[in-house]
Structure 1
């Protein structure tokens, strides 16, 4: 299926104009056609082993093309520009790569650090922020030119008085052109306000031991960082930042033996359903349920293994859960009304990621070691399509462009 390109459109229009203006012109070829395409149906799938990306059509449930040249994608994430025309891919080699979804070509790539795992695009669409493991810190670039706007080192003071650079995790965008992120070794949360010509940095210290990832609630109010070094989470109310960071769910594992942690849970794809929040428990075969009115723990749901991604269907009636190695060949579905597991699926070997279509009628699930993506009907759990991909991992659809923190 051909992709729309502006150049091709101009050439076709010019050719038709010449034919019509020529006295001896024949009738234009009725088969000549350029398919115009919006980006609302599009998405990308990370192909981690080959450093490539699969461009997909979510309505037709097809792979349009495989695009190479993204570097090390062993851990990669994607953010979409405000107009959903471009996808920014963040790679483990420090690469920041811009993909044009309409032409299917890379139209910008820089190596901005030594090891980056994610980032965010500002509310107004002007800036893309990259969180770095090496050398640590956040760099903000102009979305159009990919030129560096500001470099924020994640420098913190150690207990012995010396300074060091911390790994940056959990970079999200919030309303007001603000980026929020966490410092792993430092146990801090910082906000970077890009709304004025002089960016303003605010630091919240002593938020807890080793924040490893973070999420933002869909309305942009609460930034919540998971703590690897202790049970519980750190919450920053961005509507009332003067209250500082508070601890929530501090006792969910107290007095219990924690299992070996095979893979760190991901919080960004968390689940909200009414006044309930669903979290993956660190080192436990449980999904935690909290009351979002006071962030108290209300329920633990026993699941197949250690949960990695806990994601809510857009209508919030279901939560889909994937798991860490060695039990990562299953996906379980929780009914949010009964808090019971209602389905266990086997989409392939080494399940890594999943993504709902914008209204939630379908879900796409990547199976790395099966080299495939499986598309399910979320109502009947019927398999609708099985698509080939090279060691697929992250799946990202363009509707994320219009959601806070995604």
Structure 2
């Protein structure tokens, strides 16, 4: 028997009202990731998820193993972070869910890695067993295993340092013990084409890719100088630059190796930490020759440019690691000599440069500074913080 027309109309109206009520019910607002970042808490094997808009900590994520020399890269959509731990752990973190998504132990002792140009591959450099392992970024399944050169006595393979991504779906890295730079080219598939450059200088320990992705530069711990490879013309081989920059300087004990990733590129000048010296070197990026040397408070670790390149911020190794100096990139004048606290380990600018975040390890805090007014804005508690990494790194080459 058919229902009266009025009854059917009332039923349809009631259903529409119910559907409308369901749709309009307020729920949790979706969270974007553009202002997020991670802070490494090295003593506890944890990371803090931070956000720069409100300068706050959102969560602590635990269970990441040995983070004594940890670094982070991000997926191209900024949702996932990949943490490289010193114990060989590779951990994928979901920033929206605020939890570990996947974790593998891929080696015995690793020191950093990179994500490929297309965001599909994660490369990890290993001290032990030596070499580079490459993983699928989504599943963390092994894609390629690239052993490094064996030492002459056959006891082990060379330690790998400074793994970075480069244009053309390539990874570059240096072999500390055998004085080499390698290019692993994945542009033709998951079997890499390897190009080796030998005898590039003693003990390459870290590296830098210039912002446009053309020049790969390896710092040398075993001698005064650096090794430069032009990726536009790799057939020209490796060129020595800053050869003998420490000549005539008193040799000092090196308490902490400088990080070349933090090189400041300002216009046509590069500001470079000098190993074992209380100096920042100024280099011409067209001819790669030294122009100047700036005397600073201690042995520089990070030498970083504010995003507008007007200032250069420098932190130092022990015993001067309670200080940060700010340099003028044009006049080389020291604009400020700050003392944020004991054990300043890392610095990170927000993408547009309105904030500078500092990790002050021995004060167990993160500090947020206004780099224009040179004023402290905020302090956040953290457990022995070290590296600070913002999701904006997802869109930069060579990190």
| TM-score band w.r.t. shorter chain | over 0.9
- The equivalent residue for 2:337 is 344
Equivalent residue runs for 1:49-68 within 5 Å: 49-68=43-62
Supply the distance in 2 between the matched residues of 1:140 and 1:172 (Cα, whole angstroms): 12
TM-score, length of structure 2 as denominator length: 0.93
The structure-2 alpha-carbon separation of the partners of 1:105 and 1:215, relative to structure 1 and needing over 3 Å to count, comes to same
Q: CA deviation at 1:29?
A: 11
CA distance in 2, matches of 1:81, 1:139: 18
- Secondary structure of the residue aligned to 1:399 is helix
Larger-gyration structure (1/2):
2
3-state SS, counterpart of residue 45 of structure 1 = strand
- Secondary structure, counterpart of 1:394 in structure 2: strand
- For the pair 1:166 / 2:158, whether they are aligned, the reply is yes
Please state how far the C-alpha of 1:26 moved relative to its aligned partner: 11
Structure 2 residue aligned with 1:189? 181
1:138 aligned to 2:146?
A: no
Distance in 1 of aligned mates of 2:297 and 2:247:
22
Of residues 75, 80, 87, the one that matches 1:81 is: 75
Runs of 5+ consecutive residues of structure 1 not aligned to the other structure = 1-19
Query: Is 1:103 the counterpart of 2:97 in the alignment?
Result: yes
How does 1:368-379 map onto structure 2 within 5 Å?
368-379=361-372
1:276 aligned partner: 269
**1:278 alignment partner, SS class:** strand
How do residues 113-262 of structure 1 correspond to structure 2 at under 5 angstroms? 113-158=107-152, 162=154, 164-197=156-189, 198-262=191-255
Q: Secondary structure at the match of 1:155?
A: coil
Cα gap change, 1:372/1:150 in structure 2, threshold over 3 Å: closer, same or farther? Answer: same
Q: Answer yes or no: is 1:288 the counterpart of 2:274.
A: no
8 Å Cα contact 2:307-2:351 kept in structure 1: yes
Q: Residue 300 of structure 2 is aligned with which of 307, 324, 327? A: 307
* CA distance in structure 2 between the aligned counterparts of 1:360 and 1:390, rounded to whole angstroms: 25
The Cα of 1:315 is off from its aligned counterpart by 0.8
C-alpha separation between the residues in 2 aligned to 1:23 and 1:316? 58
C-alpha distance in 1, partners of 2:20/2:193?
Answer: 64
* TM-score under structure 1 length normalisation: 0.92
TM-aligned CA deviation for residue 157 of structure 1: 5.0
Cα deviation per residue 1:231-283 (whole Å; 9 max; x = unaligned)? Answer: 00000000000000010000211132211111111101211000000110000
Q: For the Cα contact (< 8 Å) 1:155–1:163, is it kept in 2?
A: no
What's the Cα RMSD here?
1.7
Contact 2:36 2:50 in 1 (8 A): yes
SS at structure 1 position matched to 2:362: helix
| Distance in structure 1 (CA, Å) of the matches to 2:115 and 2:23 | 44
1:370-389 superposed matches below 5 A: 370-389=363-382
SS at match of 1:393: strand
Q: What is the CA–CA distance in structure 1 between the aligned matches of 2:206 and 2:15, rounded to whole Å?
A: 62
Matches within 5 A, 1:329-340: 329-340=322-333
Equivalent residue, structure 2, for 1:12 = none
SS at match of 1:268: helix
Question: Runs ≥4 in structure 1, deviation > 2 angstroms?
Answer: 20-33
Alpha carbons 1:100, 1:106 under 8 Å: kept: yes
CA offsets 1:42-95 (integer angstroms, 9 cap, x no match): 000000111000000111100001110111101100000111110000001100
- Which segment drifts farther, 72-81 or 343-352? 343-352
Measure the CA separation in 2 of the matches of 1:346 and 1:57.
24
Residue 23 of structure 1, CA deviation: 8.0
Contact 1:171/1:182, CA 8 A, preserved across alignment: yes
The answer to whether the Cα contact below 8 Å between 2:258 and 2:275 also exists between their aligned partners in 1 is: yes
Partner of 1:17: none
User: Per-residue displacement from partner, 1:120-176 (whole Å, max 9, x unpaired)?
Assistant: 000011100000111111000000111000001112453x7x574111101110000
Assess if the C-alpha contact under 8 Å between 2:273 and 2:279 holds in 1: yes
Q: SS of 2:261's equivalent?
A: coil
Contact 2:151 2:177 in 1 (8 A): no
Question: What is residue 91 of structure 1 aligned with on the other side?
Answer: 85
